[in-house]
């Protein structure tokens, strides 16, 4: 299987997923919570910008606050806030480039080379797959390090938009279940020098306090 040409950053649009209900934070708008004086969404936008051709945000409330970050903001296009897949679908529906890179708003330390490495993984696969997603090392209950899939960190081609819409409309909610349907390439982010907390996400206010620590 030959290596295909790499995907250029200009061919990728980044999407910050900030449309969740923030249930484990007491219902707050998670993307607008502060970390070191800036919102989580702002951190995500700043980390994405050097990696891609443009950035979008998926949000379902407080639109003016997100628009103040200087990027287009789009709500879910399906009702009842069914989760991150709805945000991904909205991103694919408004994506002006062939590829969409999705990241959640609550993981502000995601790799600064996320887009490039996922693009390289697709090129190495010969672009047969239309989705690449990250996995990251995690200590399991037995103390061993295992690679845990991070399917919300994915690079997906816009031609899969209709497939995702059907999946969501049929009741699908799990990102990993949908990516598995398309034979997603999974890339481990476990090189020497990769930050061990790159995929640490702030699900709770206590997690946010952990991120505040240097």
Helices 84-94 and 161-169, packing angle to 10 deg: 150
Task: Check the annotation: does 19 bind a ligand.
Answer: yes
Q: Is the Cα torsion angle 166, 10, 110, 22 positive or negative in sign?
A: negative
Angle at the Cα of 112 from the Cα atoms of 178 and 141, rounded to 5 degrees: 60
Task: Check the annotation: does 30 bind a ligand.
Answer: yes
The number of C-alpha atoms within 13 Å of 9 and in the hemisphere containing its C-beta is 14
Instruction: Please give the radius of gyration of the chain, using alpha carbons only, rounded to the nearest integer.
Output: 16
Task: Check the annotation: does 162 bind a ligand.
Answer: no
Burial of 197 (0-12, 13-18, 19+ CB in 10 A): exposed
Task: Check the annotation: does 106 bind a ligand.
Answer: yes
Q: How far apart are CA 125 and CA 111, in angstroms?
A: 21
Task: Check the annotation: does 174 bind a ligand.
Answer: no
Task: Check the annotation: does 41 bind a ligand.
Answer: no
Residues making up the binding site: 17-19, 30, 58, 76, 106
Residues making up the binding site for GTP: 17-19, 30, 58, 76, 106
Residues making up the binding site for Mg(2+): 106
């Amino acid at each position: 299987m030959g290596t295909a040409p790499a995907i250029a950053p200009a061919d990728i649009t980044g999407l910050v997923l900030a449309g969740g209900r923030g249930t484990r934070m007491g219902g707050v708008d998670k993307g607008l919570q502060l970390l070191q004086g800036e919102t989580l969404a702002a951190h995500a936008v700043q980390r994405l910008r050097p990696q891609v051709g443009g950035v979008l945000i998926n949000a379902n409330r407080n639109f003016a606050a997100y628009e103040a970050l200087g990027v287009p903001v789009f709500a879910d296009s399906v009702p009842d806030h069914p989760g991150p897949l709805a945000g991904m679908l909205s991103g694919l529906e408004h994506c002006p480039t062939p590829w969409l890179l999705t990241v959640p708003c609550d993981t502000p330390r995601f790799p600064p080379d996320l887009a490039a490495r996922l693009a390289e993984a697709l090129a190495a696969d010969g672009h047969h797959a239309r989705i690449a997603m990250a996995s990251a090392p995690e200590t399991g209950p037995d103390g061993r390090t295992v690679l845990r899939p991070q399917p919300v960190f994915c690079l997906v081609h816009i031609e899969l938009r209709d497939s995702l819409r059907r999946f969501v409309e049929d009741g699908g909610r799990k990102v990993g279940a949908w990516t598995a349907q398309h034979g997603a390439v999974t890339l481990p982010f476990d090189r020497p020098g990769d930050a061990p907390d790159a995929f640490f996400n702030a699900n709770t206010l206590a997690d946010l306090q952990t991120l505040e620590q240097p």
